[in-house]
Every structure is written in structure tokens, then in C-alpha cells.
């Protein structure tokens, strides 16, 4: 357990410096990351391989746009990575980056009002440094707060999403090892169920194998949040399965759990063919990539809450719909 606590301390020290007002962002990134640092972020940032680039291309513009920035963290945990035989150690942070939207960001107009950007980060910690980061953030969520609707036919609810109902997601202290094992086991069972789109169970009964009946699914803007198994099946899962075919096997960069919390990140997690209408847009019959982070809270032997980050801007750009280009061309009013 000591290695997990040490890794958490690395990330907490990084955040303490990164989030301080007036900090030298380049210096902080260089100090806390490895020489061969790999940073993966949602479109349009994608892969960056230099800490200075991460500071200059992502953090500086974000801090200039969202002034008085605060990290409002809801979930924090660490674990060994199942995907490399439990050799690597990763630390996960999820919540909102809150600030005053005082200058445009990526063409998203500012309004001088408080905004909250959903984020989730997976950090691989090695030799006391952050060696790799998956930094996923919901840009359509920020757009909605600025009055821009890129995906008008959302099937679930548009919300500024809360943290866990139990308010116990910040695992700064060590957790019983068996609790993390139980969480990872049900996540793995759920992933196995997801790969069986042609089984004999109804969708609702398939979900009931690993989900609480009153599950909460906190989805990305463009899809939305939904509550209970029947509404999740109606407002997202059933629609997704109807719209896509030729889904590839699921692959993850990291999959881990600690206590009642766990999750995974992929680059991409899977590919699928858009063979039906989805999110108000027509079928293209093209294969698309899904870059996803999922975070889960376990209750008993089932999953109770799920926070999802999907790089919808990357997916739709691959389908011929470039949201940020449309925005900068003045197509949204």
C-alpha cells in the first residue's frame, strides 16, 4: 500500500503547485514530469510529448481564459494497472476546473461568468515523477455553459454533474486492498457483458447483472446524464447499440481500482461503425474511434455510479463534422 500512497503524494504535490495563482506553469510541469513525458488530451490537443508544450498549448491558454481557476476535485484514488500485469502505478483525479470565463477558449466565446469544465486525469507515476497523463475534458459541456449547442438532440439530461452521492470519493488515505479487488472484479465483469451485444438477455436484464437498479450514468454533453437501468437503456445504451456495428474489442491503457472506486482510460478504447443515426446526426457507415475514460463507484457487489468522458469532438471530426471548425466559422448562434 505504501507505493500507492507515495504515488498519490507525487500527484498532490504537482496539483498544489500547478493550481497556485501566478505559478510558472512551464517550471511546474518540468519539475514534476519525466524527461520522456507523454500527455494525451482530447481534440484538438491530442498527443504532446514535451512538458513545455503541455504548459504552453493547454494550461496557459486555459488559465488565461478561465481566470481565478480552482480545481474542485470529487474523486481521487490510485492503483496498480491491470493492463500491464499490475506493474505500473496510476493515480486518478476527477472533478471540475472552475473559473471565470473571461476570454475565449478554442473559439468558445466568453461571458465573464462562472463555468465548470468537467475533467478526469490518469497519471502514471514512476520513480517519483509523472511519466504519462491522460487528461480528458468535456469541451461541449463548456460550450453549453457559454450558450453554444453543438449537439441539439441530446437524449438525456444536460447538467453540471456532481460527485459521488456518498461524498467519499477522495481516497487520500490507504484503502483495504480487498475493497479495490472487489471493485475491479465487477468492472471487469461489466466490460465482459458489454462485449456480448447478441446474448439472449434483454438489455435491461444484461445491465442488472452488474449495475444497481438505481444506477446513475453521468454521460458527456451531447448525450447527457441518466438515472435508473430502464432510463439508461432508453436514453443512451439502447440508442448506442442501435446506431453502431462492427464494434472492436475493448482495449485500455490503464484499468485500476482502489476502495469502492475504479476506472479505465483508453487511446482509443474501441472503434465502431456509425451505421445508424446518433446524437441527431445521420449514419455515415464510417469506422470511428472512441477515446474514453470511465470512473465507477461500487455499492455492494454492483456498480452504482458512472462518470464518462468521451472525445466526441474527435469522433465526429472523423465522421466529417468538425465542431470547432463550425464554431470558428460562425455556424453556431
- One DSSP character per residue, 35-93 reads EEEEEEETTTTEEE--HHHHIIIIIHHHHHHEEEEEEEEEEEEEEE-GGGTS-SEEEEE
CA distance linking residue 325 with residue 271, whole number of Å:
23
Interior/surface letters 88-101, b for 16+ CB within 10 angstroms, e for the rest: bbbbbbbbbbbbbb
Model pLDDT, residue 303? 98
With beta carbons less than 8 A apart as the criterion, state whether 263 and 296 touch: yes
Span 180-193, pLDDT tens digits: 999 999 999 999 87
pLDDT at 95 over 80: yes
Span 148-177, pLDDT tens digits: 998 877 888 888 999 999 999 999 999 999
Model pLDDT, residue 152? 77
pLDDT at 199 over 80: no
Cα 289 to its chain centre, rounded Å, is: 15
Mean pLDDT computed over 223-245: 95
Span 63-85, pLDDT tens digits: 999 999 999 999 999 999 999 99
Give residue 198's pLDDT band: very low, low, confident or very high (50, 70, 90): low
Give residue 196's pLDDT band: very low, low, confident or very high (50, 70, 90): low
Model pLDDT, residue 54? 98
pLDDT at 273 over 60: yes
Mean pLDDT computed over 232-252: 94
With beta carbons less than 8 A apart as the criterion, state whether 273 and 46 touch: no
Cα 132 to its chain centre, rounded Å, is: 16
Taking alpha carbons only, the member of 228, 254, 242, 324 closest to residue 279 is: 242
Q: What are phi and psi of 124, to 5 degrees?
A: -90, 120
With beta carbons less than 8 A apart as the criterion, state whether 62 and 38 touch: no
CATH hierarchy code of domain 177-328: 3.10.450.50
- Do the two domains 2-145 and 177-328 of this chain adopt the same fold? yes
Span 12-37, pLDDT tens digits: 999 999 999 999 999 999 999 999 99
Model pLDDT, residue 153? 74
Angle at 111 between CA 321 and CA 328, to 5 degrees: 25
pLDDT at 47 over 90: yes
Model pLDDT, residue 333? 63
Give residue 251's pLDDT band: very low, low, confident or very high (50, 70, 90): very high
This prediction's pTM? 0.96
Domain ranges of the chain: 2-145, 177-328
CA distance linking residue 234 with residue 252, whole number of Å:
27
With beta carbons less than 8 A apart as the criterion, state whether 246 and 287 touch: yes
Model pLDDT, residue 305? 98
CATH class of 2-145: alpha beta
pLDDT at 195 over 60: no
pLDDT at 214 over 80: yes
DSSP bridge partners of 261:
258, 297
Amino acid at each position: 500500500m505504501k507505493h500507492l500512497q507515495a504515488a498519490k503524494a507525487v500527484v498532490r504535490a504537482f496539483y498544489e503547485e500547478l493550481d497556485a495563482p501566478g505559478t510558472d506553469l512551464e517550471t511546474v510541469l518540468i519539475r514534476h514530469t519525466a524527461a520522456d513525458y507523454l500527455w494525451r488530451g482530447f481534440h484538438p490537443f491530442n498527443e504532446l510529448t514535451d512538458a513545455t508544450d503541455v504548459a504552453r498549448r493547454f494550461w496557459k491558454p486555459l488559465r488565461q481564459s478561465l481566470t481565478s481557476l480552482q480545481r474542485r476535485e470529487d474523486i481521487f484514488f490510485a492503483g496498480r494497472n491491470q493492463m500491464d500485469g499490475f506493474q505500473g502505478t496510476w493515480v486518478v483525479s476527477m472533478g471540475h476546473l472552475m473559473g471565470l470565463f473571461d476570454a475565449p477558449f478554442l473559439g468558445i466565446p466568453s461571458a465573464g461568468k462562472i463555468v465548470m469544465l468537467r475533467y478526469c486525469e490518469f497519471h502514471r507515476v514512476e520513480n517519483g515523477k509523472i511519466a504519462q497523463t491522460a487528461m480528458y475534458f468535456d469541451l461541449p459541456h463548456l460550450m453549453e455553459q457559454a450558450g453554444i449547442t453543438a449537439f441539439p438532440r441530446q437524449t438525456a439530461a444536460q447538467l453540471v454533474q456532481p460527485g459521488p452521492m456518498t461524498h467519499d470519493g477522495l481516497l487520500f488515505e490507504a484503502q483495504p486492498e480487498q475493497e479495490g479487488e472487489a471493485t475491479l472484479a465487477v468492472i471487469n465483469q461489466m466490460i465482459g457483458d458489454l462485449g456480448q451485444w447478441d446474448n439472449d438477455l434483454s438489455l435491461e436484464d444484461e445491465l442488472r447483472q452488474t449495475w444497481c437498479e438505481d444506477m446513475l450514468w453521468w454521460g458527456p454533453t451531447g448525450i447527457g446524464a441518466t438515472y435508473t437501468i430502464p432510463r439508461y437503456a432508453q436514453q443512451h445504451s439502447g440508442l448506442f447499440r442501435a446506431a453502431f456495428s462492427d464494434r472492436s474489442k475493448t482495449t485500455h491503457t490503464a484499468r485500476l481500482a482502489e476502495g469502492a472506486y475504479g476506472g479505465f482510460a483508453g487511446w482509443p478504447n474501441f472503434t465502431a461503425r456509425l451505421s445508424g443515426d446518433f446524437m441527431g446526426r445521420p449514419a455515415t457507415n464510417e469506422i470511428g474511434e472512441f477515446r474514453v475514460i470511465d470512473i465507477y463507484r461500487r455499492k455492494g457487489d454492483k456498480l452504482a455510479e458512472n462518470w464518462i468522458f468521451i472525445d466526441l469532438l474527435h469522433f465526429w471530426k472523423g465522421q466529417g463534422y468538425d465542431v470547432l471548425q463550425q464554431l470558428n466559422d460562425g455556424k453556431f448562434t
